[in-house]
């Protein structure tokens, strides 16, 4: 039996506002007048229309499809699944919070790597979870998520949920599909695996496909599709998890404009192909410059590189020196990871002046 948070286990919650697309499907015809939606009437010379055009104004004026059906259909086709296996929300962060709410009751244990994407811990604390962390493993000088340790900790604590960022943030390292499948097999059936794949577009296409049992796979349109400011993400999961997520999700969280933009980029795959190609080229250029200068740089399957310094002070001093130039790089807040800097693969990062600050003094 699929196990949800205790207060959701025997309860089905019905959304009171299903949205016009579902109403149209139910009655078998198009709605031509929206006089039940309590939207404002259009006016001439609205500031949005004046600055950005009538099309954007119309999207802003009308309520969005609460189920983002057009995105679900495209995401399903892209990943070789059914639309019933996809849910859309306001970015991958919102999806982390959503599935924590769906599975974790106050006092339940969740397991993650010490120093991985900190938003997971932020939301886990918010739902009252007890958080168990395991350190990164180091293989041939490379920091990677320790999958056997995650499974052992989850089983020892009867964890409700295990979080794995893959590719990892902030290290950029990656476990292939068969390794993730082995982790899933090592977990109890009622332990949900929350697989954060925000950067998986930078990996081989075969790694992105399909539904995994007892697993939620999170995706974003922020990295490879250029929509970070619009907050659009989706999750792929078994149908029962999608159904439960839909019951507790903020239904109008993804705006009409964000949905239209997402459909536009998903209908133009060459856009993502270009972003991925150019980003990977810059990433390799940045890696070569930094490693060639004597720095320890981890192999990356993302749109950034991770530099491992000998100690936290070395990383801090370089971060401060760049901030003095108005350049922001990321140093993770977790005590276990303050000796690293995460630098986005971007033309600015490849400037000689930036490289010079990052290199050993």
**pLDDT-based confidence at 1, cuts 50/70/90?**
confident
Q: 312-330, pLDDT tens digit by residue?
A: 999 999 999 999 999 999 9
Residue spans of alpha helices (H) in the chain: 20-27, 47-52, 54-61, 69-79, 91-103, 118-126, 147-156, 177-186, 239-248, 256-266, 269-292, 312-324, 352-358
Distance (Å, rounded) from C-alpha 194 to C-alpha 186?
A: 14
Distance (Å, rounded) from C-alpha 219 to C-alpha 177?
A: 16
pLDDT of the residue at 85 = 98
Q: How close are the terminal C-alpha atoms of the chain, in Å?
A: 58
**pLDDT-based confidence at 277, cuts 50/70/90?**
very high
Relative to beta strand 142-144, strand 137-139 is antiparallel
CB atoms within 10 A of CB 263: 16
Residue 132 · residue 157 · CB < 8 Å: yes
pLDDT of the residue at 205 = 87
Q: 96-121, pLDDT tens digit by residue?
A: 999 999 999 999 999 999 999 999 99
Distance (Å, rounded) from C-alpha 294 to C-alpha 188?
A: 44
- Torsion of the alpha carbons at 234, 238, 243 and 247, rounded to the nearest 10: -60
Q: What is the set of domains in the chain, with CATH numbers? A: 6-17+64-267 (3.40.640.10), 20-62 (no CATH), 270-358 (3.90.1150.10)
**pLDDT-based confidence at 50, cuts 50/70/90?**
very high
**pLDDT-based confidence at 35, cuts 50/70/90?**
confident
- Torsion of the alpha carbons at 23, 25, 31 and 34, rounded to the nearest 10: 20
Backbone phi, then psi, for 198, in 5-degree steps? -60, -25
pLDDT at residue 128 is higher than 90: yes
Stated as kind and residue range, the H or E segment containing 297 is strand 296-297
pLDDT of the residue at 17 = 84
pLDDT of the residue at 245 = 98
**pLDDT-based confidence at 58, cuts 50/70/90?**
very high
**pLDDT-based confidence at 361, cuts 50/70/90?**
confident
Distance (Å, rounded) from C-alpha 91 to C-alpha 110?
A: 21
Residue 2 · residue 215 · CB < 8 Å: no
DSSP letters for 109-166: EEEEETTS-HHHHHHHHHTT-EEEEEPPEEETTEEE--HHHHHHHHHHTT-SEEEEES
pLDDT of the residue at 272 = 96
pLDDT at residue 27 is higher than 80: yes
Backbone phi, then psi, for 220, in 5-degree steps? -140, 155
Q: 206-259, pLDDT tens digit by residue?
A: 888 999 999 999 999 999 999 999 999 999 999 999 999 999 999 999 999 999
Percentage, residues of the chain above pLDDT 70: 100
Output the CA–CA distances (angstroms, integers) from residue 122 to 222, 228, 265, 314, in the order listed: 20, 20, 30, 27
Q: 349-358, pLDDT tens digit by residue?
A: 999 999 999 9
Across 119-124, average pLDDT: 98
Across 155-173, average pLDDT: 98
């Amino acid at each position: 039996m699929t196990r949800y948070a205790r207060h959701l286990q025997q309860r089905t919650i019905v959304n009171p506002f299903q949205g016009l697309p579902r109403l149209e499907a139910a009655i078998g015809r198009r709605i031509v007048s929206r006089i039940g939606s309590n939207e404002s009437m259009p006016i001439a010379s609205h500031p949005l229309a004046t600055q950005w055009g009538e099309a954007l104004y119309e999207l802003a004026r009308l309520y969005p499809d609460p189920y983002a059906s057009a995105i679900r259909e495209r995401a399903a086709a892209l990943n070789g699944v059914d639309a019933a296996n996809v849910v859309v929300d306001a970015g991958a962060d919102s999806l982390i919070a959503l599935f924590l709410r769906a599975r974790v009751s106050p006092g339940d244990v969740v397991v993650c790597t010490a120093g991985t994407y900190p938003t997971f811990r932020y939301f886990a604390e918010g739902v009252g979870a007890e958080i168990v962390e395991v350190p990164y493993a180091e293989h041939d000088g490379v920091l990677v998520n320790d999958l056997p340790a995650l499974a052992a900790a989850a089983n020892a604590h009867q964890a409700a949920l295990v979080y794995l960022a893959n590719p990892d943030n902030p290290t950029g390292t990656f476990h292939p599909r068969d390794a993730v499948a082995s982790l899933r097999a090592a977990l109890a059936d009622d332990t949900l695996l929350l697989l954060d794949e925000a950067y998986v577009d930078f990996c081989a296409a075969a790694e992105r496909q399909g539904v995994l049992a007892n697993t939620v796979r999170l995706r974003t349109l922020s990295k490879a599709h250029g929509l970070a400011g619009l907050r659009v993400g989706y999750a792929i999961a078994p149908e029962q998890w999608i159904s439960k997520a839909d019951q507790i999700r903020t239904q109008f969280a993804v705006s009409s404009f964000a949905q239209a933009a997402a459909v536009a980029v998903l209908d133009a795959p060459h856009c993502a192909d270009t972003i991925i190609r150019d980003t990977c080229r810059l990433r390799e250029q940045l890696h070569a410059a930094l490693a060639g200068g004597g720095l320890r740089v981890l192999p990356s399957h993302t749109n950034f590189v991770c530099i491992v310094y000998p100690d936290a002070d070395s990383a801090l001093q370089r971060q401060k020196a760049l901030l003095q130039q108005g350049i922001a790089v990321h140093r993770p807040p977790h005590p276990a990871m303050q000796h690293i800097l995460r630098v986005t693969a971007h033309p600015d990062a490849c400037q000689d002046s930036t490289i010079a600050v990052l290199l050993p003094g």
